[in-house]
Chains A and B, each alone.
Chain A
Amino acid sequence: MIDLPKPNPAVLARRDEILAALHALVPDGPFGQGVIGDPHRLRAYETDGLSAYRQPPLAVVLPATTGEVAAVLRYCHQNGIRVIPRGAGTSLSGGALPLADAVVVGLMRMNRIIEVNYADRYAVVEAGVTNIGITQAVSAEGFFYAPDPSSQLACMIGGNVMMNSGGAHCLKYGVTAGNLLGVKFVTIEGEVVEIGGQHLDAAGYDWLGLITGSEGQLGMVTEVTVRILRAAEGARAMLAAFRANEVAGQVVDAIIGSGIIPVALEFMDRPAIHACEAFAQAGYPLDAEAMLIIEVEGSAEEQDVLLARLKEICARFDPISLRVAETPEESLAIWKGRKGAFGAVGRISPDYLCMDGTIPTGELPYVLRRIGEMSDSYGLLVANIFHAGDGNLHPLIMFDANDPESFRKAEAFGADILKLCVEVGGCLTGEHGVGVEKRDLMPVQFTTAELAQQRRIKSAFDPQWLLNPAKVFPLEGNPALASAA
């Protein structure tokens, strides 16, 4: 289990007074209470997408406006109260895990789409709008918002900004950071700042880039201006299955080397293929060691040309099967198993940890071999799903949460995989964030001087370390947090 800083007894003792003060700042609205203090209702906020860790907060406040967010942060700053920003609570790294003496500031009531401008290709939305909600708002005009994390039905754009979320289509369309124009940012002092705007590349320091992916360490975002893009005429997928991970890895190299950038290039290993096939009956080849799902975009004729070229490349590597979708329905069938992968693994094992390292794509065969060896030595099953174009690896480690020893082993196995990712030239997290989950692994990737430099930047925004403390940066050797505890 992860260490959390000791609650501040002085804050805990003032609980009733704090609840009353927050309630004065955020009144109840038509959709419910502005402040939650009832212990039973606080349980709903005790965890996020990383449900192995739980800790109810002191209070939850649900502001409806930027002004209310600013007032809450100003009050917390003046009173030395820790703040946990929260969107939909879908973080897989424990980014929204509360502390016992902290106020959770949830943005789900801020869910308005404020403006859509097709001529200038942007949308201004509140932080609590879901990721898919943006695309749904603009799809009738043929536009979309590009980053598509697999939680996109639930996750909110404010959380996407804070985690710099990715998705399956990053190779072509980039991650959240590349698809933003501006944010409304609230500092811990309660000051509201417009950063960026409706234009590209604001002059001066790139505050927008620094805030994106900062995991709630620097301030809160209440409004986001995103780029919207015109969607391609259509998309179609193909499936290719091979006899070995090494072979599929060579195919990925050959595709990128050919100058074709597919819009998605997904890899699944044998356990993942079997789990998904049992769950979704998508017709995946059970005799394959590795499978690729490749998707291309363009007009129908362009799709034909690209898929024919890709088929030709795959055919050079002795595939077990090659299946090109002829219709959108056949594309959906190919994607069906992959999209249900998490549910599929959940059916085999009641509990699993979803890891998120990134590796240089050429290291895939070696990394999968090492993960296989670790799986044997820990005695835990693992299925690997990989965004092969961009190197983002998602091993799903299966364990039994009712057995503390099994959970401990799964955590150790996960840590070993992430260390391996760093060892081969990759990183601890490609899109889920550090959160609490990978906090104590940060020294594997960064030197003491590098961590100290990042902490100094954090301190420049949040000198008292009130914002989402105990995440991202190891507690050890952190004087700012030690003195606050």
Chain B
Amino acid sequence: MSVATEALAPADEAGIVEAVRDAAARRTPLAIEGHGSKRAMLRPVQAARTLSTAGLTGITLHKPAELVLSARAGTTVAEIEAELERHNQMLPAELPDFSALFGHDRPSTLGGMVAANLSGPRRIAASGALRDQVLGVRAVTGHAEVIRSGGRVHKNVTGLDLCKLLAGSHGTLGILTEITLKLAPRPEASLTLAAGVADLTAGVAALSAGLGSPFGVSGAALLPRGAAEFGLRGPTALLRLEDMAQFLPHRSDRLRQVLAGFGTVALMEGEASQSLWRAVRDARLLAAAPEQAVWRLSVRPSAGANLAWRLEKAFDARLLLDWGGGLLWVAGPATDAAHAAVMAAARAAGGTFTLFRAPDSLRSAVPVLPEEPAALAGIAARVRAAMDPEGILNPGRMHG
């Protein structure tokens, strides 16, 4: 139901500035996107024109020995990952690929990933979220001005951190045009311990035991019904280790001891382990049916099992838990009632939710994110006005 009819795709940042200046002068809203791979997330944007950053491509800096890479916003994630693979490096946030979830084959761009601040299973490690790895940005604000924040160095506290404000703002405060990221070396080897657990409560406890161990767990997910394609039956807790190959046998033995009380532990290595984590990362193991809505909730991990139980009771939800049990992927009927149940459950658990995928009719009608706290509502409105005075950037995408 997106109403965009005209698409602008400038070849450079100056073209973005020009398009924003023109739209601001005419007060015509713009739908901001890369290739539109996340167009179906959050609320549909009501805008007659689409402004795409897909024309702003190319890696502009890669210093392997400094663990730094810069790329224009429209550069595809695939291109960046191929470049990093050649240098045995990676983006530590483990960027998900949601093309299967959204049912298309449009590529993700770096700008889109940062604008949505999406991180995969390695989010729980010390390296943190994608937004923690953003060292600097260039962006065009609603004032049609180019601003920079941060830079290309690892430690920088100079001025207000607009990188953080822009990451996760879904193009509503500014249009990212270039991003500089912190990199990490690619681990030499990885393996997974898969523990058959009695139920979700025991599963989350197993993940907590693993994350509370000193062995450097870099992935901690829970499959409520296993995953037949990987030979995993019944509730299964997954713990991943990544490091130098010669370190892993010892660590996996020790971690196995930590998990001993929870159930039978199977070892998965090599490509089997890696493809399992890709399936967790991309929420493919959620196995959401095409007509179902998909929610993403983040809560305190030990609240995850109870939240899952509550949602299973409310609407026979399908579930996938990541981030030690704190991230819940939920699939269920695309109805007001199911959405109300998700919102209530997230609130009761003291956590947060995103309506990640739904038909336009549902996502235009309900809050897709929690409301801002009342005391922040005025500040939030003033911050939006400070970044985008005419309200032309992705209006209505996050809140109605």
- A sample of 13 inter-chain contacts (CB < 8 A) reads A166-B155, A174-B132, A201-B117, A204-B352, A204-B398, A205-B165, A209-B167, A358-B154, A425-B153, A430-B157, A431-B155, A450-B147, A460-B386
Which residues of B does A touch, CB under 8 Å?
Answer: 63-68, 88, 117, 119, 123-124, 126-129, 131-132, 141, 143, 145-149, 151-165, 167-169, 173, 184-186, 188, 205, 208, 211-214, 216, 244, 246-247, 250-251, 298-302, 323-324, 326-327, 350-354, 369-370, 372-373, 375-376, 379-380, 382-383, 385-387, 398
Q: Are A427 and B351 in contact (CB under 8 A)?
A: no
Q: Is the CB of B376 within 8 A of A449?
A: no
Interface centre among B123, B152, B157, B302 (most CB of A within 10 A): B157
- Chain B's closest residue to A446 (CB) is B159
- Tell whether, in the assembled complex, residue A119 and residue B302 are in contact, meaning their CB atoms are under 8 Å apart: yes
The verdict on A203 contacting B128 (CB below 8 Å), with A212-B161, A359-B153, A431-B157 known, is no
Q: Chain B residues with Cβ under 8 A from A427's Cβ? A: 151, 153, 156, 158
Chain A residues near B351 (CB, 8 Å)?
197, 199
Decide: A459 and B386 in contact? CB cutoff 8 A: yes
Verify B386–A457 contact, CB threshold 8 A.
yes
Given A261-B185, A302-B250, A446-B148, 14 more A-B residue pairs with CB atoms under 8 Å apart are: A118-B212, A120-B300, A199-B352, A201-B168, A206-B165, A214-B161, A302-B247, A389-B154, A390-B153, A390-B154, A447-B148, A453-B145, A454-B159, A461-B382
A196 to chain B, nearest CB (A): 9
Instruction: Say yes or no: A426 contacts B145, CB within 8 Å.
Output: no
**Counting CB contacts under 8 A, is A125 at the interface?**
no
Q: Do B65 and A213 have beta carbons less than 8 Å apart?
A: no
- Please determine whether A425 and B152 come into contact, CB atoms closer than 8 angstroms: yes
The chain A residue sitting closest to B217, CB to CB, is A230
Cβ-defined partner of B162 (8 Å) among A118, A198, A207, A453: A453
Cα–Cα, bound, A387→B157 (Å): 15
Chain A minimum-CB-distance residue to B251: A299
* Interface 0/1 of A113-124, CB less than 8 Å to B: 000011111100
Cβ contact within 8 Å between A453 and B164: no
| Residue of B with least CB distance to A252 | B65
- Judge whether B161 and A429 touch: CB under 8 Å: no
Residues of A within 8 A of B (CB): 117-122, 142-143, 146, 163-164, 166, 170-175, 177-178, 187, 189, 191-195, 197-210, 212-214, 217, 229-233, 252-254, 256-257, 259-261, 298-299, 301-302, 305, 358-362, 387, 389-392, 425-434, 438, 442, 445-447, 449-451, 453-454, 456-461, 463, 472
Is there an interface contact between A187 and B379, defined as CB atoms closer than 8 Å?
A: yes
In the complex the two chains form, what is the Cα distance from A35 to B396 in whole Å?
47
The distance in angstroms between the C-alpha atoms of A357 and B64, with both chains bound, is: 22
Residue from A203, A232, A428, A454 whose CB has the most chain B CB atoms within 10 Å: A203
Q: How far is the CA of A390 from the CA of B184 in the complex (A)?
A: 12
Residues B132 and A178 in contact, CB atoms below 8 Å apart: yes
Which residue of A119, A261, A361, A433 is within 8 Å of B212 (Cβ)?
A119
Whether A453 and B147, one on each chain, are in contact in the complex, defined by CB atoms closer than 8 angstroms, is yes
**A360 contacts across to B, CB distance below 8 A:** 63, 66, 68, 152-153
B93: shortest Cβ distance to chain A, in Å? 11
In the complex, A142→B258 CA distance in Å?
15
Closest Cβ–Cβ distance, residue B153 to chain A (whole Å): 4
A-side contacts of B298, CB under 8 Å = 199-203
Contact of B154 among A171, A298, A299 (CB under 8 A): A171
Across-interface contacts of A199 in B (CB, < 8 A): 298-300, 326, 350-352
Q: Known: A204-B398, A210-B160, A460-B382. Is A449-B326 also a contact (CB below 8 A)?
A: no
- Check B169 against A259 for contact (C-beta < 8 Å): no
A210 touches B164 (CB 8 A): yes
Contact between B383 and A460, CB atoms less than 8 A apart: yes
Contact B162 A206 (CB under 8 A): no
Given A119-B208, A392-B155, A457-B162, answer yes or no on A204-B63 (Cβ-Cβ < 8 Å).
Answer: no
Provide the bound-state CA to CA distance between A429 and B123, in Å.
27
Contact status A197-B350, CB under 8 Å: yes
Q: Which of B154, B162, B214, B370 contacts A204 (CB 8 A)?
A: B370
Q: How far is the CB of A184 from chain B (nearest CB, A)?
A: 11
A205 touches B383 (CB 8 A): yes
Q: Is the CB of B164 within 8 A of A259?
A: no
User: What residue in chain B is nearest A428 (Cβ atoms)?
Assistant: B158
Most buried by A among B146, B214, B324, B373: B214
Given A197-B351, A449-B146, A442–B300 Cβ distance below 8 Å?
A: no
**Contact status of A256 and B119, CB under 8 A, knowing A120-B302, A205-B169, A453-B141:** no
Q: Nearest-CB distance from B372 to chain A (Å)?
A: 7
Contact A430 B88 (CB under 8 A): no
4 shortest interchain CB distances as A-B pairs: A209-B164, A460-B382, A191-B375, A430-B155
Chain B residues whose C-beta falls within 8 Å of the C-beta of A302 in the assembled complex: 244, 247, 250
What separation, in Å, do the CA atoms of A110 and B301 have in the docked complex?
28
Known: A213-B157, A362-B66. A456 touches B301 (CB 8 A): no
**Residue in A192, A205, A257 whose Cβ sees the most chain B Cβ within 10 Å:** A205
Bound Cα distance from A192 to B63, whole angstroms: 44
Contact at B301–A391, with CB atoms within 8 Å? no
In the complex formed, the residue of A with least CB distance to B298 is A199
**B301–A457 touching, CB < 8 Å:** no
CB distance from B244 to the nearest CB of A (A): 7
Contacting pair A453 B386 (CB below 8 A): yes
Residue pair B375, A206 in contact (C-beta under 8 Å): no
A358 to B145, CA, bound (A): 26
Residues of chain A lying within 8 A (CB to CB) of residue B173: 205
| Contacting residues, chain B, for A233 (C-beta < 8 A) | 214
